[in-house]
Amino acid sequence: MRFENGGHTAKPLHVVGECDPNRTGTTVTFKPDPDIFDTDIYDYETLKTRIRELAFLNRGLSLNLRDDRDMEDTTGETFMYEGGISEYVRFINQEKTPIHEDIIHLSGEKNGVMFEVAMQYNTSYNANIYSFVNNINTHDGGTHEDGVKRALTRVINNYARKNNILKEKDENLRDDDVKEGLTMIISCKHPNPQFEGQTKGRLGNSEVKNLADSVFADGFERFLLENPEEARVIINKAILARNARMAAKKAREATRKSDLATTNFFGKLSDCKSKDPTISEIFIVEGDSAGGSAKKGRDSMTQAILPLRGKILNVEKARLDRALGNEEIKTIITAFGTGIGEYFDLSKLRYDKIIIMTDADVDGSHIRVLLLTLFYRFFRPIVQSGHVYAAQPPLFRIMHGKTRKYVLNEEELDAYMNSLPENVRSRAEIARMKGLGEMDAEELNETTMDIEKRVLRKITVEDCVAADAIFEKLMGDEVDPRRKFIEENAWNVQNLDI
């Protein structure tokens, strides 16, 4: 059967031959219609991520992905997981250190709605909870996710009270406490799902919340009763998270009491004159020297400058309470205006663009990764909403006659030089640019800050699972994954800055 032009039948169902009686299934082949899709070029890694996700969500289903554009790829890759979403949790946690060995796997069915949950706690301070309905990733959660989260908090508190782990005078554990270090996959199969929004990012069926709560609570209560050692380890981690939250609340209240006048008093933030967040932007720059040039070269109406003194705290290895004790991080929180943690409010963001402007060297890259780790962990909606950018300062300046040209890398350098006539090329002067602090205000404005001339790279989180894995690998406590990453990628290093 063949369809064209948005689903119209071009050829009806018909017999084309005999099938192998030992094989069953349906083969679907398709080509993108250029009148409907923006591009007909497929990204293999994007398809691979989705195919692998489908294999995790459908236990025992075998999916093969082959790229026929690659003439050497004759077999492709096959994805099949007998453990289903339990293996999905193990895949996400492969670079983390679990605090209990077994993955908790719960499932049940009520009123024709099937639920399946797999979860495991690790030593990190961040939660990774992903929910799906009929294999669709519900990025914004919904009633199925709300029901599971509500039951998780209630069941842990009830168990902790009954077993005297939480004393009478202790306050209950909150949602964020019991989610710290949790990796969880929630899969719901519903015969008539009602999604909210065009992207189907949130499940809206009201009856699902209580069903999800009931199914999860029954299974999780049984697990805690049957595994008291694991139960105590999980609850003790939540108690440590609660203690850190209470300490963070005190530090956060102190931060909330400070204001931009206080920030300016310490000489850190040079704010822009405009109070309109839709046209305002903030440059986070490396060091006072670059900060001085940036302040002189900026458009003071719309561009704010925040110089960092040294490298900020690696928040991949720190809870919120410790992060809030760091002066540089407190200044960033105050400057952004969104608050943090339970007080976070994206609508209060004071700048449309948050631009990381560091040198094009190893130290600059390290500072950029530290800032991205901070944003991804504590300001993730800012990244997801497309407010974070990396400035692209040029590596080379080319002078010939009265012409001055800046290029970002060696490839652009070679292309530009090859475009020049031989008599001009031979007299051209090429200079490798020094750090941002070595540029004067005019040069910094022309190359990196001028809205009409600069090059910015938007930082996005297309795949949160992959982003979490790379942050954990490069910035986490475990050394072995980082060593393995270096060993596997060191051969591809062409320019080493020592």
User: Which pLDDT band, with edges at 50, 70 and 90, does 137 fall under?
Assistant: very high
Catalytic residue among 286, 328, 446, 472: 286
Cα end-to-end distance, the chain, whole Å: 61
Are 334 and 255 in contact by the 8 Å Cβ rule? The answer is yes
Q: Which tens digits make up the pLDDT trace of 75-86?
A: 889 999 999 999
Lowest average pLDDT, out of 262-271, 442-451, 470-479, goes to: 262-271
Angle between the 479-489 and 464-475 helix axes, to the nearest 10 degrees? 100
286 is annotated as an active-site residue: yes
Look up residue 206 and give its two tokens. 């009201």
Catalytic residue among 253, 361, 450, 477: 361
Q: Which tens digits make up the pLDDT trace of 23-52?
A: 888 888 888 888 888 877 888 888 999 999
Look up residue 156 and give its two tokens. 């842990």
Largest CA distance in the chain: 87
Q: Which tens digits make up the pLDDT trace of 241-294?
A: 998 888 777 766 655 555 544 444 345 889 999 999 999 999 999 877 788 888
User: Which pLDDT band, with edges at 50, 70 and 90, does 132 fall under?
Assistant: very high
Q: Which tens digits make up the pLDDT trace of 299-348?
A: 999 999 999 887 788 887 788 888 888 888 888 988 999 888 777 899 99
Look at residue 222 and tell me whether its pLDDT is greater than 90. Answer: yes
Look at residue 104 and tell me whether its pLDDT is greater than 70. Answer: yes
In what order do the strands lie in the sheet containing 303-308? Answer: 303-308, 281-286, 353-357, 388-391, 456-458
pTM of the model: 0.70
Please report the pLDDT score of residue 498 as a whole number.
43
User: Which pLDDT band, with edges at 50, 70 and 90, does 463 fall under?
Assistant: very low
Please report the pLDDT score of residue 201 as a whole number.
85
361 is annotated as an active-site residue: yes
Catalytic residue among 213, 271, 328, 359: 359
Taken in order of first residue, the domains within the chain and their CATH numbers are 22-81 (no CATH), 85-249 (3.30.230.10), 260-393+441-492 (3.40.50.670), 396-432 (no CATH)
Q: Which residues of 388-398 are buried (b: 16+ CB within 10 A; e: fewer)?
A: bbbbbbbbbbb
User: Which pLDDT band, with edges at 50, 70 and 90, does 125 fall under?
Assistant: confident
Q: Which tens digits make up the pLDDT trace of 138-164?
A: 988 999 999 999 999 999 999 999 999
Please report the pLDDT score of residue 258 as a whole number.
52
Catalytic residue among 140, 146, 363, 412: 363
Look at residue 492 and tell me whether its pLDDT is greater than 80. Answer: no
Dihedral sign of CA atoms 244, 247, 252, 253 in order = positive
Look at residue 184 and tell me whether its pLDDT is greater than 80. Answer: yes
Please report the pLDDT score of residue 252 as a whole number.
61
Look up residue 140 and give its two tokens. 């914004």
